[in-house]
Every structure is written in structure tokens, then in C-alpha cells.
Amino acid sequence: WALESGCSYAESFGDFVKVTCPVADLERMLGDVEIVEVRDVRLGESAPKIITGQYSLPHPIARVVEFVQNLAMNVHKRRLSSFRVPSSIPREGARPRYQEPSEDQVIPATLFNLYNISHTISTLSSQSVAEFSNFGYLESDLTAFDNGCGLPKPNPIKAVGSFSPSPPNVECTLDVQMITSVGQNGTNFYYTVDGWVLDFAQELLQSNDPPMVNSISWSSDERTEGYSYNSRTDAEWQKLGTMGVSVLAASGDDGAVGTSRCSGNHWYFNPGYPATSPYITSVGATMLVGKPTTSSSEAPICSEPGHVCAENGSEEPADENLGGYATGGGFSVYESRPSYQDTVVTGYLNDNSIPKPPASYFNNSNRGFPDVAANGYNILIYRGGRWETVGGTSAATPIWGGVFALVNDVLLKNGKKPLGFANPFLYQMFADGKGTFTNIGDLTTNNDDGCQYGYTSNPNGWDPVTGLGTPNVGMILEYVQSNMASFP
């Protein structure tokens, strides 16, 4: 039908079809819609979109087509990297924090101490970061970062798709430096995706050797994408999980309220996708508070003027409501609650000692997120020839991506398949109570982001702020070893 209608290219990939068509023919094929190039000024890219009319397909075609991808999608994808705003510039409605965040710099050695990380990869355990624009990173920055932080040189990073390395983008730089520093000696990939997360999932499915772990530090409003797009993408995540492919996504940097911030959603929260998908691992963020122990010998950079490196300390949910960001979390608009988290989410909801937002703001029968958390505040990176500190759930996500790569290394060395869809494993491990997670926060902490409502932390278990908590990687790997017979 596509070729007969004037398209120059049409190819089937099993359960989706790619076509290339002249605009005039495509407008006619889709029911006399108007298609123009729409520019995303934030990302500096353009894509054809339907701007007038609602597409329709002939009945014989419509009955087997779920939807027309990208062309009819009003997706506002965005990077989640957060530059910290000085606390002297408060946002409207901001209130004093319960405990001030530490301004000491977080380097890989800090993460190793916080999360008991000493394992390095000795197999073909692979990991990737996915970017949805042509921005990139500089290899020279990665080399300087590794040298300054006392890290070994990572394996070469294989680029899948083209990107522009200069000027280096903060998000891309952060992603690469975090995942390679935790998943040391892993096989590394850097994906540049033309489109959005469904395109990425389809690209992984078409690969002969997809990365075993994939970190996404991007998000889009769940309501904007709509149920059909999210549902179809979920199906692709499920396929990948059965293939031994894990996907992680940042939970967002706008607290419980979502991207419209305090002044936007007066009657409901606006969570982001893909963090709300039940078939990926959603990652929230923490920050060091108070006075962490510091060291000038943890890494070469720590002895340089102007650098104070945190060695270890206490963490709370990232919620710098005097001008920074807050870790995203809450409940999906569309996705029903998966069975693997039913016990812990029900326990949170039924605990009357924990304050909750008004019931109209969220659907408490749906998927709760995030699943886990890691540090995402005052992270030291090297970009464009200089050191700088950044934060966000986009830092925490590749950190957990590196942790997954370490788990896969243990599995592969024991003749097992890679982890794949990880959430049932994470929640079962938490239920077994082997010290594999550190609970974050108490009844004084939350992710309101300085707004009227947010979710309050659970002192004793999962919450929609930092999930199950931060990892104790040494204990996680011991748990995997002692339960090896349960892995395929």
C-alpha cells in the first residue's frame, strides 16, 4: 500500500514498518492532513509533524496499524541534567531545607565508599548511554576526568549513530563519565537516537548484539505522549528484557509535581515517561548532607586548589528547594501497578504515619516510581577543558547502569545469562532483607521541590521519592552469588 501510494521506500521489521514518502503523497495517504517541519529550539533539531487535521488510514490498513509513529506524536523530549542554581536565588514559594546539602564534591571514589563498590568487570558485560539529539562528549575530557579521579582508562566507546563532540554537552559528558567509572572495564556504547524511546527500543531489538545495560537520562511528559505510545513502547521493553537487556531511566528533576512546576498542575501531578514504565528500572537521586568526611588523597584532583572531595557521608533525597531541583517520583497516569512492587507500594500507602498528597493528585493504584536511587548532587565532571559540578537524576541513572553491568559480570562468569528485566530481582532482593539497600530519608524529607505538595519519605521501606534506596554493591554481588541457582 505504501509503495503503491507513492512512497519510495517501505520495509517490514516484523511488527513495524518504516516508510519514506514525499510529503504531498503522505498527506493524502493519511487523510488530507497538513505536514510541516517543526523545529525544537531547545534541541536545535527539526522533524516533520502533522499540524492540521487528524490522520486516518484506509480500513484494511487501519485494522492492523496501532498508530503512526513520530509524525503524529507531540513528544517534548528533554535532557534531565541540572545545573545547580545558587541557594541565594530562591524560587517562588521556596521554604528552608530540613538539612543543608553538602557542597563537597562527589567523585567516583565517593561513590565507591558510599555504595561499597570494589568490583571491576572481567567479562564482555556491556553498557550504553542513550542520547536523543546529536550532542556529544569529548574523548579528551573523559581522559582528563579519569586521570584527575585516579581511574583506569576505560575500554573504547563504540558510537552507534553520529554526533557532534564539540562543544561537549553537559548531559552527554555526565552520562559517559558516570557509567564508565562505575562499570569499569565494561564494553561501552554511545547511542545517538533519531527520534524518541520507541525508536531506541526498536533499534536495540534490531541489533545483533545490543548492550546488556542501557541508561536513559531523558524524559517526556507522560500525558503528552499518551497511552498508545507508552503502551507500544512498553511492549518493546518487555521483549528486550527477555533477551537479557536492561533499561534504566531517570525519574525526573522536578519533584512530585512534574515539569509544570509549582504554578502549573494545581489538581494533579505530571510524571514523565519512560520512568513510569513498569518494564524499566526508574532511578531517583540523593545528595550528601551535613558535613561529610573529606579527603585530599582520594584522587589527584582532590589535592588541587578549589577542590574539596567528599569521602563518605549521610544521604537524603535530592530536594534542594532553595533553587536547585528535586528527585522525581510518584505514580504513573496510565500504567497499572506491577505485581513485583505491590507489597511495598501498598505498605507505603497504608502507613498513616506518612503524609500523602491529596488523593486527586495521583492514582494510587498505578505504577509507583522510582525503583532505586543514587547520588545526584554536586557531581564533579570534566567538560570542555575544565572541572564543574552538576546534578540530577541523570547522574544517578548511569551510576546504577554501572552497577547493573557489575551484576552482569558476576552472572556471566558463572555461565548465566545477563540480568535483563531487573525489577522483579530488585524487589525480591529487598524483600529478602540481606542489607543490599540503604534506606534514604525519614518523615522530615520529601520531593516537594518547594511546592505545596510532594511525597514524604518512608523511614522503613519503599517510597515514591528514592524507591528502595541506594545500593550496597558488595552485598548485592554476594546475594547474586548465593542465589546463583535461581538465575537462568
The residues annotated with a catalytic role in the active site are: 171, 175, 394
**Cα torsion for 113, 117, 118, 119, to the nearest 10°?**
-170
Q: Please enumerate in sequence order all residues whose Cβ is within 8 A of that of 18, keeping only pairs 6 or more positions apart, or say none.
A: 9, 10, 11
Of 108, 81, 156, 189, the residue nearest 405 (C-alpha): 189
Taking every pair of C-alpha atoms in the chain, what is the biggest distance, in angstroms?
A: 70
Q: Please enumerate in sequence order all residues whose Cβ is within 8 A of that of 297, keeping only pairs 6 or more positions apart, or say none.
A: 303
Q: Is 310 helix (H, G, I), strand (E, B) or coil?
A: strand
User: How many whole angstroms separate alpha carbon 416 and alpha carbon 312?
Assistant: 34
DSSP, residue by residue, 418-437: P--S-HHHHHHHHHHTSS-E
Q: Are 292 and 311 in contact (CB under 8 A)?
A: yes
Per the listing, cell 574539596 goes with 308
Of 178, 131, 463, 472, the residue nearest 319 (C-alpha): 463
User: How many whole angstroms separate alpha carbon 408 and alpha carbon 425?
Assistant: 13
